[in-house]
């Protein structure tokens, strides 16, 4: 892994932590007594799990010395966007 790859990985992890933090704040502040609140809770929780999986992937690749696979990162980002749009549509 090159130094540039490590810096890119650190930036991606930083952005994922910001997204995960915003999702956690949303989880803490929502009312889950309604059916729509339960659906929104599930969407935000799945966003946190996708962020966690992507951070774990970046950590594993960085420690192994390999380069990032573009497909797993692209798929994870697309999944986060899909979940974000689903969360907006549920509100």
Residue pLDDT, tens place only, 74-88: 999 999 999 999 988
Show the tokens assigned to 78: 């697309």
Which residues are CB-contacts of 81 (< 8 A; sequence separation ≥ 6)? none
Show the tokens assigned to 80: 């986060």
Which residues are CB-contacts of 39 (< 8 A; sequence separation ≥ 6)? 90
pLDDT number for residue 55: 96
pLDDT number for residue 22: 92
Residue-wise pLDDT tens digits, 29-63: 888 888 888 889 999 999 999 999 999 999 999 88
Q: Please tell me the pTM assigned to this model.
A: 0.89
């Amino acid at each position: 892994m090159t130094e540039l790859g490590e810096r890119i990985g650190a930036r991606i992890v930083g952005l994922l932590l910001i997204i995960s933090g915003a999702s956690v704040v949303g989880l803490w502040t929502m009312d889950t007594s309604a059916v729509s609140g339960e659906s929104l809770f599930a969407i935000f929780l799945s966003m946190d799990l996708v962020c966690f999986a992507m951070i774990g992937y970046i950590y594993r690749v960085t420690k192994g010395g390999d380069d990032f696979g573009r497909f797993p990162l692209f798929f994870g980002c697309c999944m986060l966007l899909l979940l974000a749009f689903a969360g907006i549509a549920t509100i």
